[in-house]
Structure 1
């Protein structure tokens, strides 16, 4: 998939997930994310690697967002299957986002420090946007505690996923920046 088309498609999945969750529905986001991941895997030359990357992201999301929910530092709207774990729609977003690390965000594979900063700063900002724009997540006061947990979790998870993308999805003869999905 073209990098710009992938970027727009992922952003569309994000909006579907957070808007629907804010309206109390978990399944539109989970379905949109599953369709995005399936298309990414189907059209990849490294299907197994991309599927494993999505699986690793599922685990990372279960840990990071699960810890946030379990600790009570945040409450997710449309919290299916449980209010004490990461909801299906956010896990879908983790999987969908991870597949972009082999495509439109593949530059992060070679720049793990940038991936760390993006996780540290960008992820909490995205969650704040979802919280304030659509009410898909609510942070316990003071909100900085939940945001700090997210920042730390994403600062570890994003470079790890970028590194894993380089190992699992990169074509054997291509460089990291020019890797083909």
Structure 2
């Protein structure tokens, strides 16, 4: 294992407790500090992957929609709901940034193992939300089976999708010409 792998995965592993336990205790700076360190490390020109910024944007957009949906559907309520209790809180968005920054780095080996990611997402996400509830960072408002089914199925789709979107072969291929366009191959 390289130093880059260890730093990336180490900061990723610290992000969850820093954000979740921090939110449970009304403290935002712990998550900001850890995820900020991950961002500085990964977006450094020596460590950055060409798709990192794109994946941060995708994860932030998808994460905002998904975690806001849990609130709007009456499934979950988050502690420290800044900036609004009606939307995914900032500390959850920090976790999405941390996910974005391991996809092309310490967890890149899973880009071609999407079924493993589907299983991990389907099982791991309800466990993560449950652990967060035990710390006091999230409250399950709906019956447990609804929260488990909804978050599990969603993450079973979302996690492999994120890794599929980050596959290098998709980014390095030249764009195909629009259908019906005649391409002169003699130029």
Q: TM-score with structure 2 length normalisation?
A: 0.82
In 1, the alpha carbon distance for the partners of 2:169 and 2:42 equals 14
1:152 alignment partner in structure 2: 153
Secondary structure, counterpart of 1:104 in structure 2: coil
2:162 alignment partner in structure 1: 161
In 1, the alpha carbon distance for the partners of 2:167 and 2:30 equals 30
Deviation at 1:30, TM superposition (A): 3.7
In 1, the alpha carbon distance for the partners of 2:15 and 2:97 equals 11
In 1, the alpha carbon distance for the partners of 2:156 and 2:65 equals 13
CA shift digits 1:24-65 (9 cap, x unpaired) = 233432443233123212243434x20110110111111111
- Structure 2, unpaired ranges of 5+: 174-187
Change (3 A) 1:114 1:87: same
Secondary structure, counterpart of 2:47 in structure 1: coil
CA shift digits 1:65-115 (9 cap, x unpaired) = 110011121110011111111111111101111211111111110111111
RMSD: 2.1
* Residue 82 of structure 2 corresponds to residue 53 of structure 1: no
In 2, the alpha carbon distance for the partners of 1:125 and 1:66 equals 19
Structure with the bigger RCO (C-alpha within 8 Å, sep 6+) is 1
In 2, the alpha carbon distance for the partners of 1:81 and 1:169 equals 36
1:82-121 equivalences in 2 (<5 Å):
82-121=84-123
1:133-144 equivalences in 2 (<5 Å):
134-144=135-145
Q: TM-score with structure 1 length normalisation?
A: 0.84
